[in-house]
Amino acid sequence: MSLQKLLVTDIDGTITHQSHLLHDRVVKALHQYYDSGWQLFFLTGRYFSYAYPLFQNFSVPFLLGSQNGSSVWSSTDKEFIYFRSLSRDFLCVLEKYFEDLDLIACIESGASNRDVYFRKGLGKTSQELKAILDAVYFPTPEAARLLVDVQGHLSEEFSYEDFAIAKFFGEREEVKKIMDRFIQSPEVSSQVTMNYMRWPFDFKYAVLLLTLKDVSKGFAVDQVVQTFYKENKPFIMASGDDVNDIDLLSRGDFKIVIQTAPEEMHGLADFLAPPAKDLGILSAWEAGELRYKQLVNP
């Protein structure tokens, strides 16, 4: 039996616990899996310019999906396979629900629009929240070139025709407040896919992700399978650590869930892996490779 193999994985909290580094053992393992016939596909909530440096020194081909499935890029062709975006007009709708919140609202333009990061502070702790984000996402002047701190209305200062994703960052209860407002509003909920997740670098905080309706990590997997595999669906080994990975995992023939994931996700796992800081993904991938071999050589 011959069956192609696709390794699909989330990044933060799954294959790394650091914002700007992949462990050498993880990099080595990924190269070895490619050499043994696995295609590599990384899927993240990060914007492309923030995700790509983790992989820029890879000597094997890979696919990189950014902003929760809003785009996928091929290292072989050096081009994007697709983009999915929301109209800038939608910002006026979102702004109706910003009152009395203590959050950071982030509108990411997407790689088709130079990956600019428009940020608006809401509430009394916005400067503190911005400092937390800056330490992770904009630690250098070079990284901060993509950042626009909005003083007025996002809908007025955003300078592109469309955007890839909206993110709302803050303490978990505050993020749940705006999520509840959006859920209760058909003019928002009918237009977007929403994902509430813990911030992978500090679980005290959360992020709400809004993408175009039906866009998700699972959607990205479907697009890649349709584009590259046509009718011959590969064996998919999928891994993740938070709720925005659930529909990614649903596409997997072998599902890896990191132990630090919310407990309700643990039951999805074919393999419950040790935390990213302990390089738990390595033993999980070994188990997935074994499952594949058992399938093709019963």
Residue 2: predicted pLDDT: 60
Strand order in the sheet with 147-149: 147-149, 117-122, 103-108, 165-171, 205-212, 192-198
The per-residue pLDDT string of the chain (298 residues; one tens digit each, 9 = 90 and over) reads 568 999 999 999 999 999 889 999 999 999 999 999 999 999 999 999 999 999 999 999 999 999 999 999 999 999 999 999 999 999 999 999 999 999 999 999 999 999 999 999 999 999 999 999 999 999 999 989 999 999 999 999 999 999 999 999 999 999 999 999 999 999 999 999 999 999 999 999 999 999 999 999 999 999 999 999 987 999 999 999 999 999 999 999 999 999 999 999 999 999 999 999 999 999 999 999 999 999 998 8
Pairing of strands 5-10, 38-43: parallel
Tokens of residue 115, six digits: 């990956």
Residue 3: predicted pLDDT: 84
Residue 19: predicted pLDDT: 86
Question: In the chain, where are the structural domains located?
Answer: 5-83+216-296, 86-212
- DSSP string of the chain? ----EEEEEE-BTTTBSSSS---HHHHHHHHHHHHTTEEEEEE-SS-HHHHGGGTTT-SS--EEEEGGGTEEEETTTTEEEEE--EETTHHHHHHTT-TT--EEEEEE--GGGTT-EEEEEESTTHHHHHHHHHHHH--SHHHHTTEEE-SS-HHHH--SSEESEEEEEEEHHHHHHHHHHHHT-HHHHTTEEEEEEE-TT-TTEEEEEEEETT-SHHHHHHHHHHHHHTT-PPEEEEEESSGGGHHHHTT-SEEEEETTS-GGGGGG-SEEEPPGGGTHHHHHHHHHHHHHHHHH--
Residue 298: predicted pLDDT: 83
pLDDT in tens, 64-75: 999 999 999 999
pLDDT in tens, 17-30: 998 899 999 999 99
Domain 86-212, second-level architecture: 2-Layer Sandwich (3.30)
Taking CA 276 as the corner, what is the angle to CA 270 and CA 280, rounded to the nearest 5 degrees?
50
Residue 132: predicted pLDDT: 96
- pTM, two decimals, is 0.95
Query: Between 3.10.180.10, 3.40.50.300, 3.40.50.1000, 3.50.50.60, what CATH number should domain 5-83+216-296 receive?
Result: 3.40.50.1000
Inter-residue long-range contacts of 19-23, CB under 8 Å, 24+ positions, other chains counted: 19/136, 19/137, 19/201, 20/53, 20/54, 20/139, 21/54, 22/54, 22/55, 23/279
